[in-house]
Structure 1
């Protein structure tokens, strides 16, 4: 092991797998990679990426972190992608949500090391915002309307109070190609493509707005933060909105898929988000201003349309 050590917590999830792939594809392999998993270890992931170390960790109890210290050592960078992120499931089990989404055991484990020598990159969400205006900025008040959002605000508070060296990324809906080992939840663009390709009418919300971000852009952002920390060693305490440049409703998302694929747009039926009971309160407009992201890292995420094109082109290869 000669490289800098990177640990992805929640490495079998959607973003986690894309990150492991992104890190492993860097020329000259400057990073030693490890990841944590909770339920089962996908063999396909280990087969596809050589030299990966996998650790079974229970975030609720912190069981498993000790083994990482012994086998892998102190990581230079930890990316925390682990979360219960289905808002409705979070609403039904607030206790589990808080114990997993607020990374106390991870932060406690990191406090065993020399304080500022590990960078923690923590994934948060646009759902920390109330959703009553457009283009939220990082300094806007966080007023989450559901348990998921509340758990992520609590996590942000924990990280910023207890860690000296961190970047908190408030991510919007992350979309893109399927992972090496397919994730169980349905992916937004693939789901829309599936509905429309059957020629069936689908209901889509016209009054809920997000800034969906292409997964490879999120990977680039995390790689840039990692490389900045590893090369400059300057401590950071950073909070960034991570969204795409476009504020879109579900109707507009579906329309983009229809235009690219040549589907009939009359299949897209616009309905109000208030007409459906999803068992959880959902913020109406949590679009984000990403000026700070672009200025800090000099990365401009691709447009929603281009991201959809890239996603559908990647799916066609499978």
Structure 2
């Protein structure tokens, strides 16, 4: 049986690395793009995968993939400038990285429309003034990051024939094969509470965090559906969040309960009392019933996701 050819754009990032782990079996022929020195460790971990340096801003490097790897069946776009404060400070970079002009141009260069683009968007496309947004609700982002991701969705819907856009919430889960410099939410909460310091958490900012392996499963199911479909047509937008609507305080409390930390260390503050240098939407919790019905999945609860994350941190050699 012919292997499914998959290209992961942004393979050195958090989700990208978890996808590489999932693709390590023999069903897939995998290539990933990188724009960071982390990729050397990934080549050691996944010697069968091809790595291509690509500048997502200019598109330099995509042509090499066509020549050496060929037309992929599926491209998963994980590349993004995703720290809202950084996007606010450098809107030009946010637009040129987050709106994938060069990637879309590369896909349109193929003679046949047999490539599916799975694009990672964000819950920050929503305005944040109500609970449980649905996919068809208006996207009125309140910061540069969210606006760049709205623009990306519009570009893909306009220019791509086949796509699945996943509006991901905060992703929680174990550290990656090649550890990332940024703080991972659950690990960070655990480490600050472990020190015994009091920490401020927002009680009035709501999200639906998703366990990383659920997001990987969603992507694998979309790929299987695409490979098996005869007519090769997919135009999907899905909210990709977890099953629980939680404030930052509630997230911290779950970590504290799982680890036995002192709950009194968690100080409740309002998001409006802190200037983070960026407007943050208050409530971008998402209705995920379409995701559950379309892909027949049952997402991991936040508490179980926290348990699994912290278990894997104490057994870092377990990569399953």
Map of 1:1-318 to 2, 5 A cutoff? Answer: 2-25=2-25, 29-233=26-230, 234-318=232-316
Cα deviation 1:266-294 (Å, max 9, x = unaligned): 01001111111000000000000000000
Cα deviation, 1:242-287, whole Å, max 9, x if unaligned, reads 0000000110000000000011100100111111100000000000
Residue 115 of structure 1 deviates from its aligned partner by 4.2
The 8 Å contact of residues 251 and 270 in structure 1, kept in 2 or not, is answered as yes
How far the C-alpha of 1:49 sits from its partner, in A, is 1.7
Cα distance in 1 for partners of 2:65, 2:218 equals: 25
In the aligned structure 2, how far is the partner of 1:146 from the partner of 1:56?
A: 30
In structure 1, runs of 5+ residues without a counterpart are none
**CA displacement 1:147-188 (0-9 Å, x = unmatched):** 000000000000010001100000000010000000111000
Partners of 1:197 and 1:316 in 2: how far apart? 14
Give distance in 2, aligned partners of 1:235 and 1:223. 17
Whether contact under 8 Å (1:2, 1:32) holds in the other structure is: no
Contact 2:45 2:177 in 1 (8 A): yes
Distance 2:112 2:247 in 1: 42
Runs of 4+ in structure 1 deviating by more than 4 angstroms, as ranges, are none
- Structure 2 Cα separation of the partners of residues 42 and 200 of structure 1: 36
What is the TM-score with the length of structure 1 in the denominator? Answer: 0.97
CA distance in 2, matches of 1:313, 1:65: 38
Name structure 2 gaps, 5 residues minimum: none
* Aligned-residue CA RMSD (Å): 1.1
Contact 1:12–1:42, Cα closer than 8 Å, also in 2 = yes
Alignment size in residue pairs: 315
Give how far 1:121 is off: 0.2
Structure 2 SS opposite 1:21:
helix
Query: What are the superposed Cα offsets for residues 111-164 of structure 1, whole Å, 9 maximum, x if unpaired?
Result: 011342000000000000000000000000000000000000000000010001
Contact 1:101 1:155 in 2 (8 A): yes
